[in-house]
Structure 1
């Protein structure tokens, strides 16, 4: 009599049990989804498992996985009898044919599937649920793995038995078994088709399903780099560009083709699964050396959305580490790393080749005047999208030196949209990603650049010196948070509902194209901010940078940290924002531990401060989360120079200034929603006693003098006050010079110099205060909202609305500050020489 296992499952034949025990020490299986078990399937229907390729190892892996999950064995017949042959509940769509050391062939006909369909046709009362199962051996070797193991990890090739044996021995403890939801065979059979056609149809659907899962896990089956380049050069747009260049430069087609070939080889990645696996092996100890931990948020949503979509990863860009970090996290969590658009400045000797094999493709900073290069690059991107290759690029164009999101550049987005309009094979999904650091390895170089020193050119020697320096430090923790995805079809449905019917007319740039790209760029930046992670360093920076000397008594700092956390929890910015679970006391202790805070002992109470260069660096981390406090900061700003103000007045002025704040901080609300958040914030501040309702005047009021509540309001307001100072500088320069006196470029330069001088004379503002890009964005918003327009002579002409807007600033900015700005504002538009690099408070100049 055959013994039944204690869980009620029918045991497999004795031979498989023996082989399973021999294989068990070499296998460690991770099931996907992690909770996959008996609740995955319907208990009322027999189960038949379907795998992509048959092999003894796959059967044993599936049997062990089912045993661990409490599912019926695939190696015994179904309760209703032997339906698929060989007394198993297992179907393989293809089977290797070949000897142990021979070159295997792949036979795709499935006799078991044919038998199952025939039996269901014969017995209309019978139904079976099929469960597709994907098996991957050796995808992610760990830090104890040998280099040799990556050569035998999972790929697209059909391997022989000996190679599969080595893969199990070397990499079996890194096996992934992914169960897909069951499907009723009775529901998918079509009665108007013959059994043979039903078999072909079901097999085709299952093969497409397995390809989709395999692509998501190990990446697409890429052609050789030269084959891909040849396809790019053979496309009609590139051939036309080659012919145009030959005609323009009076040369022959072959010479122009060779130039196009050089451009294509400069651009194209040379993706290697082996190199990617090797890099994952190397990077694990690297992350453990330089970081205290890497945390991911909302990753499960990406794993659900990625299969079946062309995924475009669009992270914020804060560090060179962004490239490696995101690809590494995707890989070790079961998603293929994307191809990454990298600046050609990173195409260094040795390093460039390694990055290229890791999926990097290179682009020049500007190629508007190079029609041939533009055609080659656009066609290459289109080819990747057409092949279903996931891509990563940074729409900010470069790393943020201030900690804020930069105004998006639309070039790569436009190329992606054009490629999809031309070949909409798979739906395109944009995945915004927020990356938050506690310390930046490029922090000092960012300060140098903001202070006017030229950016250092990347060289192989500079890279080696940088790596050596990086390995001597620890940079705290990192958070990678995946924002709400954006479907390109949704964007197109908004701007061009009939785009599919008019695809033949879309070769030229349609009138709605620019608006669609701008809308997409804005949504990406908004969704990145909506996925922010608030770490202890962010909260310390927000609190301490609000004081003149970047210092607080310990009791005040603890109270301010508690208030900041309470505001984030009481008026949530987004359901994807995450906040450190540490208490205020634990945040302070952590700041001291990582040497961000300096404690000064004093009999009346310890003082905690940011010292020297550290104080200036912390403005970067404050700016990471500035948008989360925009509502609270605006309400607090309204009480800086006035004790009383009506709620209606706060809302009116808030809606007036909101378009400028929204564009600078990429806030997610319209004006009405902003007003609702302001009201909710006012209620929280009133509940905590920072402001109160005065029944006599019917207005809101703050406390008098220098109470703790007034101190807390001032600290909250400070994060937004510098933005209003910049706004007032721009308006003061414009009004003082007169309408039609300065151009946009001249205004930007004068604003930059005025802010720079203001910071030298009156405050300890960080260099990001006079960052040109912030003034450029404000001037652009003035033009968009028609506060100013460009006159016939190219100068800016402003309306009375601007002067009225400037008058409201007295509510926010003190009289002393407004007078100081007016005093140093240039009174005529003239060319001003570029100033020398200015020293930053607490930063020693370096040679």
Structure 2
């Protein structure tokens, strides 16, 4: 230990009186923790010491002087022995003003040059340079106050007033980090004949790198893209080439094209700020407490375990504007770095946009068409994020779902991510699907209006302020379920054994790239659905919306809820699915409490009902979990209008319909896997007494129409029946108009109009029934399966199998529904149904099975062989 008591007293006497006074005034507000605790052990005895600090600042000089005094180190305020320097300290980054000398324009490297020249001519002389890092209010803790967070240490060089506030609020959490001294003599000797000016620039560069590493270790990495990424984007070769191309194409100067590119990067780039994120977490804590009764995360531990060593891309479903905030808030509170989120430029509102940007949002336009420079700049920005290992989040659906179903993915961001990884595969990419489940939506009423044809209301600051009335309502619980992550490398390996060759040419577009992106998009949607959370509102919606008047006797509703819970428990959709622990009675009570259902008292038993508007809103929550009951709904649909069917026919027709259900609901199985699920579901129904198996299990039979089991099957079937009606509308419109008559757009429009009219006539409480996107998806699936194709004139032609599909629809859809659709659907005289010939009611199971086997080898067996008995009249059901 060096004895510096005499030197310390002398140094204090040499410091200006106002400096000593300021130190005494500051002392009660600052508590210093030295790192290491005894820095004097780092110094070499007898060698002069010169301290270097990262940033120029009066408060930093006061803190350093006190820390040195308390540690028994030489004072930074004393002259440096053997030089003309009046102080033994200098700063690497300086601003104009007072401090270590009167020359305000002196470069920081000038101090280093003086030190280097002071060693010339005396080979025995040396100076110890001690880097000292000073942090006031490092990374705040969860218990830190709001203002303490705002003025905590970060990467920004702040002004004197803000520094003063930081000292007042966070001074008791001050860290002074002393690094190992550097022998200037050793550096000079190793440099050889290097000129002093060049040597000092090199030393300054090394010191800046050192300070950055220490700061990153203490307060976290610098994530401010406006300082660290913008220049990288503008200097990237693709962007420079695009700037030159823009200048040439538009006949403008290179400087003007560069400024345009710079403006685009500034429009896009996030400006992440830890104080803003932490401050927002305080606000959101109160906000969530006013809105929600709880936010629950499931399987997060698995997601956290998979993340290390990967570039993580969070890909949640998109159902509400709250999705952005919920994800970031929950990750932040769980101790995970908040991802940078791709947000629509429509959210870049005054004030709000700036806050979102500092919370990690980067903005993108809805379309890149017609702006090549923007496309290149945005792609390069994403590539920089991937290259730097910054976690990202985006919604591949492109927008919020208005129906509650997952939307068809828009793979633009996925393609950018894959291409960025191929360009610089330094860290493997991991996509983390997340299912977000609500019990009530803030945007519910606006979604219904948009589906009914009202234009989407444009986001605005006034609209946001007007929307604060939502704080007067409660929205139940929210679930964030983390699905099974998807690694990019195995997908690339499966697509091409030589995919790494694409790295050599960043502009190449290998033929397998599109296939990889499409497969990745499908896997993400499938894994989101596999992580579904079944809440009480989902279950109530599945049951009540399947009844004509959206009402059920309490006993019937209790039985239906118990059946659905048992189905999901005995035949779990996946190991990531979660379900409410409430029993049926608790679910009903919760639905009443949330205002979704109303109890009607009656002497013969209470009835639970959901009102018309509530029923429309409930359809959203039914659609959230529709995929979980898809196999059960298909089996039940086969017995909606039929008393008996062969098991083989249920499976065969299921195999035919599966590609369309799978495309709409993002189901996880292949055709064989779906048939296995159907088998398991049939066995479940048989165990529960909903179906009876005869003929050694080959023929299945349900009870009569008024039977409780038949009623429960009917409720399950009707959750999916509208999808089959949409399919029938589409193929009936095609067949009715004939081949080479309609374009895809014309067919889509005809189907939408037909569905809208059918909905009005039947008072359907499901706006998604006439959602144009669902018809578009079904038509696309028909084309993918080569059932429908486009001729040279752009009109649709179709395979004869389409007419067989119309015929097979008779098994599922009631006659009056089919006739209504055919009557409403625009077109020529078109297709007319052939007379149906149901088999005699007294036909034996053995005879029916023989008849089925005789026809089963055909691709489409006659409907008479599929349907064992059609219960077309109530009289037959009563027998």
- TM-score tier, shorter chain, comes to 0.7 to 0.9
1:257, distance to aligned residue in structure 2 (A) = 1.5
Partner SS, residue 285 of structure 2: helix
1:305, distance to aligned residue in structure 2 (A) = 2.0
Q: Relative to 1, partners in 2 of residues 1:152 and 1:245: Cα closer, same or farther, differing over 3 Å?
A: closer
Indicate conservation of the 8 Å contact 1:619/1:766, yes or no: yes
Partner SS, residue 667 of structure 1: coil
Indicate conservation of the 8 Å contact 1:554/1:607, yes or no: yes
The corresponding residue for 2:579 is 579
Stretch moving more, 503-512 or 649-658 = 503-512
* Aligned residues between the structures: 679
Indicate conservation of the 8 Å contact 1:294/1:477, yes or no: yes
Superposed CA deviations along residues 329-357 of structure 1, whole A, max 9, x for unmatched, are 00000101111111111111111111111
Which structure 2 residues correspond to residues 82-93 of structure 1 after superposition, within 5 A?
Answer: none
1:238, distance to aligned residue in structure 2 (A) = 1.0
Partner SS, residue 248 of structure 1: helix
The corresponding residue for 2:63 is 101
Partner SS, residue 720 of structure 2: helix
Indicate conservation of the 8 Å contact 2:224/2:271, yes or no: no
The corresponding residue for 1:21 is none
Q: Relative to 1, partners in 2 of residues 1:605 and 1:228: Cα closer, same or farther, differing over 3 Å?
A: same
Partner SS, residue 404 of structure 1: coil
User: What is the CA–CA distance in structure 2 between the aligned matches of 1:696 and 1:422, rounded to whole Å?
Assistant: 60
Indicate conservation of the 8 Å contact 1:156/1:221, yes or no: no
1:146, distance to aligned residue in structure 2 (A) = 3.7
Partner SS, residue 719 of structure 1: coil
Indicate conservation of the 8 Å contact 1:438/1:621, yes or no: yes
Which structure 2 residues correspond to residues 181-200 of structure 1 after superposition, within 5 A?
Answer: none
Q: Relative to 1, partners in 2 of residues 1:220 and 1:409: Cα closer, same or farther, differing over 3 Å?
A: farther
Partner SS, residue 794 of structure 2: coil
Matched, 1:715 2:677: no
Q: Relative to 1, partners in 2 of residues 1:218 and 1:500: Cα closer, same or farther, differing over 3 Å?
A: farther
The corresponding residue for 2:145 is 145
Which structure 2 residues correspond to residues 54-93 of structure 1 after superposition, within 5 A?
Answer: none
Stretch moving more, 96-105 or 820-829 = 96-105
Indicate conservation of the 8 Å contact 2:224/2:273, yes or no: no
Partner SS, residue 685 of structure 2: helix
The corresponding residue for 1:547 is 547
User: What is the CA–CA distance in structure 2 between the aligned matches of 1:523 and 1:650, rounded to whole Å?
Assistant: 27
Superposed CA deviations along residues 34-65 of structure 1, whole A, max 9, x for unmatched, are xxxxxxxxxxxxxxxxxxxx9668999xxxxx
Indicate conservation of the 8 Å contact 1:220/1:388, yes or no: no
User: What is the CA–CA distance in structure 2 between the aligned matches of 1:169 and 1:627, rounded to whole Å?
Assistant: 56
Which structure 2 residues correspond to residues 240-259 of structure 1 after superposition, within 5 A?
Answer: 240-259=241-260
Which structure 2 residues correspond to residues 271-670 of structure 1 after superposition, within 5 A?
Answer: 271-467=272-468, 469-670=469-670
User: What is the CA–CA distance in structure 2 between the aligned matches of 1:827 and 1:397, rounded to whole Å?
Assistant: 34
Structure 1: tracts of 5 or more residues without a match: 1-53, 61-83, 86-94, 107-135, 173-206, 830-847
TM-score (norm 2): 0.73
User: What is the CA–CA distance in structure 2 between the aligned matches of 1:500 and 1:517, rounded to whole Å?
Assistant: 16
Superposed CA deviations along residues 788-833 of structure 1, whole A, max 9, x for unmatched, are 011000011101111112211111101110011001010159xxxx
Structure 2: tracts of 5 or more residues without a match: 1-31, 43-51, 55-59, 65-88, 93-136, 158-162, 176-208, 830-879
Partner SS, residue 440 of structure 1: coil
User: What is the CA–CA distance in structure 1 between the aligned matches of 2:35 and 2:552, rounded to whole Å?
Assistant: 64
Q: Relative to 1, partners in 2 of residues 1:164 and 1:310: Cα closer, same or farther, differing over 3 Å?
A: farther
The corresponding residue for 2:239 is 238
1:226, distance to aligned residue in structure 2 (A) = 4.5
User: What is the CA–CA distance in structure 2 between the aligned matches of 1:534 and 1:170, rounded to whole Å?
Assistant: 46
Indicate conservation of the 8 Å contact 1:270/1:359, yes or no: yes
Q: Relative to 1, partners in 2 of residues 1:629 and 1:57: Cα closer, same or farther, differing over 3 Å?
A: farther
Partner SS, residue 367 of structure 1: coil
The corresponding residue for 1:839 is none
Superposed CA deviations along residues 708-733 of structure 1, whole A, max 9, x for unmatched, are 10110000001110000000000000
User: What is the CA–CA distance in structure 2 between the aligned matches of 1:628 and 1:104, rounded to whole Å?
Assistant: 67
The corresponding residue for 2:261 is 260
User: What is the CA–CA distance in structure 2 between the aligned matches of 1:441 and 1:148, rounded to whole Å?
Assistant: 32
User: What is the CA–CA distance in structure 2 between the aligned matches of 1:58 and 1:536, rounded to whole Å?
Assistant: 56
1:263, distance to aligned residue in structure 2 (A) = 1.2
Choose 1 or 2 for highest CA Rg.
2
User: What is the CA–CA distance in structure 2 between the aligned matches of 1:702 and 1:753, rounded to whole Å?
Assistant: 36
Partner SS, residue 742 of structure 2: coil
User: What is the CA–CA distance in structure 2 between the aligned matches of 1:646 and 1:492, rounded to whole Å?
Assistant: 43
The corresponding residue for 2:806 is 806
Q: Relative to 1, partners in 2 of residues 1:168 and 1:815: Cα closer, same or farther, differing over 3 Å?
A: farther
User: What is the CA–CA distance in structure 2 between the aligned matches of 1:150 and 1:421, rounded to whole Å?
Assistant: 39
User: What is the CA–CA distance in structure 2 between the aligned matches of 1:557 and 1:789, rounded to whole Å?
Assistant: 45
User: What is the CA–CA distance in structure 2 between the aligned matches of 1:99 and 1:719, rounded to whole Å?
Assistant: 72
